[in-house]
């Protein structure tokens, strides 16, 4: 049955919120990334010397040239300040929030689950519930416990088995949570870690060359097995749980013969994994950031009329194109990430509005879209780029950890509340 459209232009019951992930915001984590950061921070700071950054970014703290930029450390202490952060999210009209549970906290040693950390996440979930904010939980967002790293991480089949056991445990503990995302962006992680070799476990200094097509394929297969088995395990514990993954999809565009290449990339990057798990998902989580134009048989020939601080092209129409392609799966879709890095906050409000305009068009075309989560609630640790990219609706002063609502956060609120139209 078609849902009533509210004055916001979005359906009744639509989830509005923002996303975070544990390692990027919590602080104080000990996992494969925290080890890798220590090994690589000096190199990353040195390499930054030869790259061009927007001037205001170089002067910001901690800018890309500083070693501490690349060490997550205390991050933005969301672990200690989640109540304050949720108060702000609530004041901005959010009725949902996506976050991840840090596996290395829950299971620091194989088979030993930490009651204290389980209690922490119970409090986090309760804090959201107390504010009328629906939790969407990601079970794996790029980080592994050290003992998983030591068995070869996701190149080892056993990791899928251990992950399923962890997933099952979480669903048993947090039985009242409805929305579960198993794995965040399998294609991105496998690609960065095993094709590009720019993310853990690859480490030049330590002589670990992980680039390998074989490992890449093996990791993707293990993600697929992990997702399907976790899906079954979760549903066994809680029939009414809704389980999906967060899938990074790209709008590949090409004309004439270039379309052949674009279609091939579309199949490999956007569809293959989703086809593979199509009988094991209740919804699709979409992370949309990229448009990729194929021209002269080359990828990434984008016009880049508007870009973020990281140089990523702003291309709102692409979200509509990828949504159109996802419609064939006939599953509800939640946009689990969409956002941009920008310290000055001059383009972000328009970024959000223009993307939502295209989401709205997709809804009018009868595509079943049920939520939108901006990435991110607050400035955080952007993996191998570190702290300098500013994605937050809330600005964080990295010296004092003080939070300040950005103008765009207020503009997003006005859209959510129907005070402003997209
Ligand atoms: C996505 C990741 C997320 C964040 C954004 C900018 O690929 O899922 O953790 O880094 O990009």
**Mind listing the pLDDT tens digit for each residue in 250-265?**
999 999 999 999 999 9
Overall average pLDDT of the 40-56 stretch? 95
Q: What is the pTM of this model?
A: 0.98
> What confidence score (pLDDT) does residue 10 get?
96
Burial of 209 (0-12, 13-18, 19+ CB in 10 A): exposed
Overall average pLDDT of the 164-189 stretch? 98
Q: How far is it, in rounded angstroms, from Cα 171 to Cα 316?
A: 35
Confidence of residue 189 (pLDDT cuts 50, 70, 90): very high
Residue 233's Cβ-side half-sphere holds a number of Cα atoms within 13 Å equal to 21
Which ligand 1 atom sits nearest the alpha carbon of residue 248?
7
Confidence of residue 399 (pLDDT cuts 50, 70, 90): very high
pLDDT higher than 70, residue 2: no
Q: How far is it, in rounded angstroms, from Cα 402 to Cα 404?
A: 7
Burial of 219 (0-12, 13-18, 19+ CB in 10 A): buried
For residue 69, report the distance from its CA to the centre of ligand 1, in Å: 17
Pocket of ligand 1 contains residue 185 by CB under 6 Å: yes
> What confidence score (pLDDT) does residue 300 get?
97
- CA distances from residue 106 to 6, 249, 302 in whole angstroms, order as listed: 40, 30, 42
Phi, psi at 308, each rounded to 5° = -90, 180
What CATH number does domain 15-416 carry, 3.20.20.80, 3.90.1150.10, 3.40.50.300, 3.40.50.2300?
3.20.20.80
DSSP one-letter code for 171: H
Nearest CA among 300, 343, 291 for reference residue 319: 291
Q: Per-residue pLDDT tens for 292-336?
A: 999 999 999 999 999 999 999 999 999 999 999 999 999 999 999
CA 100 to chain CA mean position, Å: 9
- Show the CA angle centred on residue 66, arms to residues 146 and 23, nearest 5°: 30
**Under a CB-based contact definition with an 8 Å cutoff, are residues 352 and 408 in contact?**
yes
> What confidence score (pLDDT) does residue 109 get?
98
* Ligand 1, atom 4: closest residue by C-alpha: 382
pLDDT higher than 80, residue 131: yes
Nearest CA among 340, 336, 347 for reference residue 407: 347
Nearest CA among 226, 336, 334 for reference residue 280: 226
| Cα dihedral 402→406→410→412 (10° resolution) | -120
Between residues 236 and 209, the one the model is more confident about: 236
**Under a CB-based contact definition with an 8 Å cutoff, are residues 413 and 420 in contact?**
no
Bridge-based pairing state of the strands 333-337 and 369-375? parallel
Q: Per-residue pLDDT tens for 342-375?
A: 999 999 999 999 999 999 999 999 999 999 999 9
Pocket of ligand 1 contains residue 368 by CB under 6 Å: no
Query: Max CA-CA distance within the chain?
Result: 58
Nearest CA among 209, 276, 246, 204 for reference residue 100: 246
For residue 215, what are the β-bridge partners? none
**Under a CB-based contact definition with an 8 Å cutoff, are residues 96 and 133 in contact?**
yes
SS3 136: strand
Can you read off the two tokens belonging to residue 377?
A: 């609630």
Q: Where are the domains of the chain?
A: 15-416
Q: Per-residue pLDDT tens for 190-213?
A: 999 999 999 999 877 777 778 899
Pocket of ligand 1 contains residue 184 by CB under 6 Å: yes
**DSSP string for 11-27:** BTT-EEEEE--HHHHS-
End-to-end CA distance of the chain: 24
**DSSP string for 216-267:** HHHHHHHHHHHHHHHHHHHHHH-TT-EEEEEEEEEEEEE-TTHHHHHHHHII
Q: Which of 269, 287, 342, 389 to mutate to test the pocket of ligand 1 (most atoms within 8 A of CB)?
A: 287
Q: How far is it, in rounded angstroms, from Cα 126 to Cα 1?
A: 32
Q: How far is it, in rounded angstroms, from Cα 153 to Cα 145?
A: 9
Which ligand 1 atom sits nearest the alpha carbon of residue 246?
8
Which ligand 1 atom sits nearest the alpha carbon of residue 391?
6
Q: Name all contacts of 126-129 with Cβ < 8 Å and 24+ positions apart.
A: 127/82, 127/83, 127/86, 128/86, 128/97, 129/176
Mean of the per-residue pLDDT values of the chain:
97
Of all residues in the chain, what percent carry a pLDDT higher than 70? 100
> What confidence score (pLDDT) does residue 8 get?
86
Pocket of ligand 1 contains residue 103 by CB under 6 Å: no
Q: How far is it, in rounded angstroms, from Cα 234 to Cα 282?
A: 12
């Amino acid at each position: 049955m078609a849902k009533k459209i509210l004055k916001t232009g979005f359906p009744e019951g639509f989830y509005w919120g923002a996303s975070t992930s544990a390692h990027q915001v919590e602080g104080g984590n000990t996992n494969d990334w925290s080890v890798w950061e220590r090994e690589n921070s000096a190199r990353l700071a040195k390499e930054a010397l030869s790259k061009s950054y927007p001037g205001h970014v170089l002067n910001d703290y901690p800018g890309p040239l500083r070693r501490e930029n690349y060490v997550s450390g205390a991050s933005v202490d969301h672990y200690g300040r989640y109540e304050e952060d949720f108060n702000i999210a609530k004041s901005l009209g959010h009725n949902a929030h996506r976050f991840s549970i840090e596996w290395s906290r829950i299971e620091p040693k194989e088979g030993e689950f930490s009651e204290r950390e389980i209690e922490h996440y119970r409090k986090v979930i309760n804090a959201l519930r107390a504010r009328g904010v629906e939790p969407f939980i990601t079970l794996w967002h790029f980080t592994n416990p050290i003992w998983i790293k030591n068995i070869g991480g996701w190149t080892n089949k056993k990791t899928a088995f251990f992950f399923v056991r962890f997933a099952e445990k979480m669903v048993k503990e947090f039985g009242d949570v409805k929305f579960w995302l198993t794995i965040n962006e399998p294609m991105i992680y496998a690609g960065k870690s095993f094709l590009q070799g720019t993310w853990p476990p690859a480490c030049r200094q330590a002589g670990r060359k992980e680039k390998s097509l074989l490992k890449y394929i093996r990791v993707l297969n293990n993600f697929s097995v992990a997702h399907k088995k976790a899906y079954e395990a979760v549903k066994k514990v809680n029939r009414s749980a809704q389980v999906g993954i967060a899938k990074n999809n790209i709008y590949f565009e090409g004309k004439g013969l270039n379309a052949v290449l674009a279609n091939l990339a579309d199949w490999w990057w956007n569809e293959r994994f989703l086809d593979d798990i199509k009988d094991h998902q209740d919804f699709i989580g979409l992370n949309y950031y990229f448009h990729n134009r194929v021209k002269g048989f080359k990828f990434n020939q984008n016009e880049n009329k508007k870009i973020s601080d990281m140089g990523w092209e702003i291309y709102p129409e692409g979200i509509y194109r990828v949504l159109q392609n996802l419609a064939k799966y006939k599953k509800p879709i939640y946009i689990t990430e969409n956002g941009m890095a920008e310290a000055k906050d001059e383009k972000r409000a328009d970024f959000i509005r223009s993307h939502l305009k295209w989401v709205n068009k997709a809804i009018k075309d009868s595509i079943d879209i049920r939520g939108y989560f901006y990435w991110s609630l607050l400035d955080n640790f952007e993996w191998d780029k570190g702290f300098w990219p500013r994605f937050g609706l809330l600005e964080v002063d990295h010296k004092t950890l003080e939070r300040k609502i950005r103008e765009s956060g207020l503009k997003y609120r006005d859209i959510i509340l129907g005070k402003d139209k997209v």
